[in-house]
Structure 1
């Protein structure tokens, strides 16, 4: 199961720190990456957000005198300078020329390795890695496997699935770490006094390749689904899919758990992994709203605090993962009833003057918006859609509105006009009210007017928040404020860390 380079362009030359050169991001290390291997390398950090600061602290905890260069903006450079680290230099111009001067650049997940300057530097031999790679490399055993790690990825539902898995393990008496893309960088839990029995880790498409690049293997990897997303970061749908699936195809987990209903996943050749399927009649699956293990009825899922049938379906992925760890999944399944739903994910805030407000700000794809609408059946719904335009297609959403339209659709944001233009001919047939808003406040006002004091205002944008908000959390908090709710009461993610 030793990783090999996926690129025919690789020269396979190796530096003293163990990095292959001249291949860029397609090249995978042949042994797990350890912090000590950075000691003889020229190292830079790129990005000073939470992940970047975590990487800095982790490197300093092991290599206190290693010269580091931080690429960041001017405000962040001032913050870093205040640390008084004589071995840390800051620069604000992350040009290809400057990046090429380093053997290793530890970059934050939001920075794409497909940016022109990164591609040029990678071709010159600079190795781009993230904090996820450093964490996995440091925890790998002699066989390269990071024991008792369960990684979860997927375009939709991965945060709830990750948190639910941690919840069930803890309910079974197992000390469990919950970290990763869900809100706690892995490098913030690099050194813990009492390591947990299990690590449950959410990975975005920005991080899945990092696991492969670390040279380490998860014990269990779960892939829920794959839809087009983050095309601005990945550059194309094909590359997004390839990057997303590297957790399975290149990281070679001991056990790979896949959705039997996703054709992209079932088509994969995963010879190095024990492949198990959920949503499969022979394993964990739903029959209508009933949960089954094979032909054995386990429970009715309708009362579970898992909004949307897709989330209840992902309970099947959780239980399959629990079985892969050698535990009794049937015994733990009922504990899903005490799960606390995550904020900004089909989160019901409450009701004001006959109107319920549901915050699904995490929704960043049209598929997610359609899944959100499915949760409300025949209720009167006004959905707010639109945000940063990443070029995702909205044609499928528009087609769905011909037969499954809510009472009203209000478009907003950068891609609002494009979505509105697709929906106009459908709305003209009399199927629903279509509005165009200048911003979220305007969209809220239009939605309330359309409902007339009865129904649901659903924020499920199907697009990122960039440009108007710092992130989806800020957008969800603003939605709560506009609806008359305290944003501080709806934003905390329960269970992060070790418990």
Structure 2
């Protein structure tokens, strides 16, 4: 075996086989094997590394001979195009959560950058650059792959911004198929999932990726030119894109994420990137008239929202499902059939989710509501809210109008917790108000109090604030609420 191996790699030996490629190709393959092999090299690769391995191996000869069309199935050539974007470049993976890890897996599997560096504020289980000054020195990299959690506010250098891209940007540039991109301050997860649900039930080859929790690089091998990709897009995923989806959906824009952006306008600009790069063959579904090259669709012109049938609570959910049906229609689905299918759509956790009825009181988990407009929508949808639990991390958004609307609402009890809850408490307290006001330290005390003071109707957790600090995310907050509701009953 070793004798044949010597003949394959040693330029001074007689080559034993002609069918295994040129020596350049063999050495290229073995060099890549040594670079990528984990954990311990097998004996044959150890020998190669000791005697023949060249860290600076020149791949030029092999690359010049290589023709992508002869080696990659047609439906996956777009993956190679994405991979070629990184070739011989120094790459920084900025943020090493779910998407950052997915990016590293992609790079290890498909391409050979010059080098790859993981950068994050928090120390990770891989060598990299970590700590408070993690954003310094980014200018030295050719490509900066930014994860959604890294705030635009923290990146001040124009040079860094020009080098910054993301999984979303690269997929939209090279996607081989129709992409339905969906964004909005509120409703994007429900609308994205409903669009996917309708298309899947109608027999379309469809994938759901993005902000819903699936990094698109982790799903590339399931996507080809026949696939419809439903892509839930947050403002953070959209801020550095230079391409837009073939169908763009802009549900709404409210004041939000002001802790991540220099202004409300910067936040809105990021959102509107969803249609900014569309062409005349693309479609935009929007709540507002916009200046765009694509064809625009307004839901009110094609669907009477009042006639939408759904299990979900709230007028806003009728709107979300109407948009989902319209989005499905842009890729060939029958809109009436889509609406009929969506009558059975059960919605998502933490969105006006029924928890339990205890002593005649129904408890609802609406932890997803992180802005006043969403909380008001939940109150309106339930109709009989006797007790409202609100408050969380204070991001500096205005609660003035919200306080006045709550003060004049039919809600009997308002329990305020955490920093934003205190601010809302003080604002309502300055107004002649109907509800009784309570201030508590945390969610556990809020739920215990709610059980004491709520005699009938509904108790609703709808914080109108983010979950940062006290909880990992809104899902964690929702799960804790449900556990507290069910405790000791």
Q: CA deviation at 1:450?
A: 2.2
Q: CA deviation at 1:126?
A: 5.6
8 Å CA contact 1:217–1:254 kept in 2: the answer is: no
Alignment correspondent of 2:437: 434
3-state SS in 2 of match to 1:404: coil
Q: Decide which of 295, 320, 331 is 2:326's aligned counterpart.
A: 320
Provide TM-score, normalisation by structure 1: 0.77
State how 1:186-197 maps to structure 2 within 5 Å: 186-192=216-222, 197=227
Alignment correspondent of 1:70: 118
Alignment correspondent of 2:392: 387
Q: CA deviation at 1:411?
A: 1.0
3-state SS in 2 of match to 1:100: helix
State how 1:330-409 maps to structure 2 within 5 Å: 330-377=336-383, 379-409=384-414
Alignment correspondent of 1:85: none
5+ residue gaps, structure 1: 1-31, 82-88, 142-146, 260-264, 292-300, 487-499
Instruction: Confirm or deny that 1:223 pairs with 2:226.
Output: no
Alignment correspondent of 1:477: 479
**1: CA distance, partners of 2:459 / 2:226:** 41
Q: CA deviation at 1:59?
A: 1.6
When the two chains are superposed, the root-mean-square deviation of aligned CA atoms in Å is 2.3
- 1:250–1:422 Cα change, 3 Å: farther
8 Å CA contact 1:220–1:255 kept in 2: the answer is: yes
**2: CA distance, partners of 1:456 / 1:40:** 60
Instruction: Confirm or deny that 1:238 pairs with 2:261.
Output: no
Q: CA deviation at 1:329?
A: 0.8
**Higher helix proportion, which one?**
2
**1: CA distance, partners of 2:223 / 2:342:** 29
**2: CA distance, partners of 1:195 / 1:357:** 45
- 1:242–1:124 Cα change, 3 Å: closer
Deviations 1:387-441 (A, max 9, x none): 1111111112112124324111111112122111111133xx3501111110001
Q: Decide which of 276, 281, 284 is 2:297's aligned counterpart.
A: 276
**2: CA distance, partners of 1:285 / 1:224:** 16
**2: CA distance, partners of 1:125 / 1:365:** 29
**2: CA distance, partners of 1:74 / 1:285:** 49
**1: CA distance, partners of 2:436 / 2:135:** 49
Q: Decide which of 147, 165, 172 is 1:129's aligned counterpart.
A: 165
**2: CA distance, partners of 1:54 / 1:66:** 19
Q: Decide which of 82, 93, 96 is 1:45's aligned counterpart.
A: 93
Deviations 1:152-199 (A, max 9, x none): 111111111111111111111112111110121212112227776311
Alignment correspondent of 1:298: none
- 1:124–1:306 Cα change, 3 Å: closer
Q: CA deviation at 1:227?
A: 0.5
8 Å CA contact 2:369–2:465 kept in 1: the answer is: yes
**1: CA distance, partners of 2:122 / 2:408:** 51
Alignment correspondent of 2:140: 101
- 1:466–1:172 Cα change, 3 Å: same
Alignment correspondent of 1:80: 126
**1: CA distance, partners of 2:447 / 2:254:** 28
Q: CA deviation at 1:124?
A: 5.9
Is the deviation greater in 186-195 or in 389-398?
186-195
8 Å CA contact 1:108–1:130 kept in 2: the answer is: yes
Structure with the greater relative contact order (CA < 8 A, sep ≥ 6): 1 or 2?
A: 1
3-state SS in 2 of match to 1:306: coil
Alignment correspondent of 2:307: 290
**2: CA distance, partners of 1:402 / 1:97:** 47
**1: CA distance, partners of 2:184 / 2:160:** 32
**2: CA distance, partners of 1:217 / 1:239:** 18
**2: CA distance, partners of 1:367 / 1:68:** 42
- 1:466–1:33 Cα change, 3 Å: farther
8 Å CA contact 1:369–1:461 kept in 2: the answer is: yes
5+ residue gaps, structure 2: 1-79
**1: CA distance, partners of 2:245 / 2:433:** 52
- 1:419–1:185 Cα change, 3 Å: same
Count of aligned pairs between the two proteins: 408
**2: CA distance, partners of 1:90 / 1:430:** 53
